[in-house]
Amino acid sequence: MKKFLLKLSPLFAAVFLFFACSNNVEKTNGGWETINDILKNIKQPTFADNEYNILDFGAKLDSTFNSKPAIQLAIDKCSENGGGTVLIPSGIYFSAGSIFLKSNVNLHLQDGAIINFSTSSKDYLPVVLSRWEGIECYNYSALIYAKDQENIAITGNGIFNGKASAENWWPWKGKTEYGFVKGMPSQLDSMGRPRLLKMNLEQTPAEERIFGEGFYLRPNFFQTINCKNILIEGVTFKDSPMWFLHPILSENITIRGVTVIGNGPNNDGCDPESCKNVLIENCNFNTGDDCIAIKSGRNNDGRRINVPSENFIIRNCKMKDGHGGVVIGSEISGGCKNIFAENCEMDSPNLDRAIRIKTNAIRGGTIENIYARNISVGEVKEAILKINLNYEPDEIGERNFPPTVKNIFIENVTSKKSEYAFYLDGLEESKINNVQIVNSKLDGVNNGNVLNNIENFKTNDVYINEKLFKN
- HEC states along the chain? CHHHHHCCCHHHHHHHHHHHHHCCCCCCCHHHHHHHHHHHHCCCCCCCCCEEEHHHHCCCCCCCCECHHHHHHHHHHHHHCCCEEEEECCEEEEECCCEECCCCEEEEECCCEEEEECCCHHHHCCCEEEEECCEEEEECCCCEEEECCEEEEEEECCEEECCCCCCCCHHHHCCHHHCCCCCCCCCECCCCCEHHHHHHHCCCCHHHCECCCCCCCCCCCEEEECCEEEEEECCEEECCCCCCEEEECCEEEEEECCEEEECCCCCCCECCECCEEEEEECCEEEECCCCEEEECECHHHHHHHCCCEEEEEEECCEECCEEEEEEECCCECCCEEEEEEEEEEECCCCEEEEEEEECCCCCCCEEEEEEEEEEEEEECCCEEEEEECCCCCCCCCCCCCCCEEEEEEEEEEEEEEECEEEEEECECCECEEEEEEEEEEECCECCCCEEECEEEEEEEEEEECCEECCC
Q: What whole-number distance in Å separates Cα of residue 222 and Cα of residue 250?
A: 13
Report, as residue numbers or ranges, the catalytic residues: 289, 323
- CB count within 10 Å of CB 174 equals 17
Contact 470, 442 (CB under 8 A): no
Q: What whole-number distance in Å separates Cα of residue 370 and Cα of residue 313?
A: 11
